[in-house]
Structure 1
């Protein structure tokens, strides 16, 4: 008996499967004049050495690990040939995407096109949204959060499956 049963192959598969990031929290780094921002320390290891920035929804910038970016792009691409809305979304999403690597101080450059898109100045907010982070103009984030907080508990019934809390 070699000890290579189903349990062993499952354990081996877990060792080779990359950890899915779980980016959480709200951070308020400053953006310098060159458009660089320090990544929150808790995000650095989860995002990895190479990451992708892209146009996000509601005028924020998505910050994704490369593996998550590829997963999303492939999922959209599977439907894009026959679906006009998916083709249009893919064009906008991919044309605004940029590979980034943090420097030795853990800073990343937010390209001018993405700073313009999200109206980013020196006052920004970086939030963890599970498998991605989002970079927001601070005033825009505060307005968005204030507008959504009242309906937060109402939305839960529609978004979350029935579960025990």
Structure 2
């Protein structure tokens, strides 16, 4: 199965949409996709993400053993924010070391593929079948079985904590 799973067009994912606040708002990455990683370690980026990620992107170690896919500008913003506190904060220094030492600049080829480096494939335990999910200003690459297990374990909690995580809003 390839492509996006049951996601329709959304004005939230278009930078020119009136729903997006600020002209310099980062692209919004949404949805779930199931590309494959080939024998050379290459993965086709979801078509909807290609223009939003831009010509350059950064892959880095993510939380819960996934790989983060970030537009270069968003990666820079995150790294600078962590770095501002790193000299006086031991936890921030340690996080920054692990985060930046596992980060790799990537440029998609003409077919929209990127190489997922061996180090990151091993870290996230990625096999041939992966899931790429949009998580707002970043995407995450998960091993397909690991993602299904994670999602199953979090579904009830998702409903239970909604009131704690989301402020009171009119939907």
TM-score normalized with structure 2 length: 0.85
Identify which of structures 1 and 2 has the higher relative contact order when contacts are C-alpha pairs closer than 8 Å and 6+ apart.
Answer: 1
3-state SS, counterpart of residue 132 of structure 2: strand
Give CA-to-partner distance per residue, 1:5-49, whole Å, 9 cap, x none. xxxxxxxxxxxx544111000000010001000000000000000
1:24-103 matches, cutoff 5 A: 24-103=30-109
Give CA-to-partner distance per residue, 1:57-92, whole Å, 9 cap, x none. 000000000000001001101111111000000000
- Aligned equivalent of 1:120, options 126, 129, 134: 126
TM-score normalized with structure 1 length: 0.88
Which structure: greater helix fraction? 1
Say whether 1:150 aligns with 2:168.
Answer: no
Aligned residue pairs total: 150
User: By how many angstroms is 1:154 displaced?
Assistant: 1.5
Deviates more, 1:45-54 or 1:154-163: 154-163
State the alpha-carbon separation in 1 of the partners of residues 35 and 128 from structure 2. 9
Runs of 4+ in 1 over 4 A off after TM superposition: none
3-state SS, counterpart of residue 151 of structure 1: helix
- Give the greater-gyration-radius structure (CA): 1
RMSD, matched Cα? 1.2
